């Protein structure tokens, strides 16, 4: 009986894994920084512009890539899918 329960549990976890695609191992970071235009009124008044980044650690070093505003929601969804996938794999390895 225990073996059947284990097989069922693994099958359920595999189904969950399939639903978490696509994913990306990264983080979405929103930074604020001044722009390069000299006459920018917002920067002159102390406001900074939003600069979204996709950040990933490679061999212990952070790599950042600019993320267009229209892709922020999708990138967050994919990074959350990675976290969910990682949790399920940890559950599977603990069985």
Per-residue pLDDT tens over the stretch 4-50: 888 888 888 888 888 888 989 999 999 998 888 888 888 888 888 99
pLDDT at 59: 92
Measure the CA–CA gap between 95 and 93, rounded to whole angstroms: 6
- The residue assigned the tokens 């939003």 is 50
Query: How many Cβ atoms sit within 10 Å of the Cβ of residue 38?
Result: 7
pLDDT at 95: 65
Half-sphere exposure of 85 (CA within 13 A, CB side): 15
Asked if 28 contacts 92 with a C-beta cutoff of 8 angstroms, the reply is no
Closest CA to 64 of 79, 48, 52, 76: 52
């Amino acid at each position: 009986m225990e073996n059947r329960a284990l097989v069922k549990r693994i099958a359920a976890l595999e189904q969950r894994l399939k639903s978490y695609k696509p994913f990306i191992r990264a983080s979405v970071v929103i930074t604020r920084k001044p722009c390069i235009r000299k006459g920018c009124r917002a920067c002159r008044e102390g406001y900074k512009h939003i600069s979204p980044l996709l950040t990933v650690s490679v061999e212990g070093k952070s790599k950042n890539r600019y993320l267009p505003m229209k892709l922020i929601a999708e990138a967050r969804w994919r990074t959350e899918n990675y976290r969910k996938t990682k949790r399920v794999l940890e559950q599977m390895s603990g069985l």
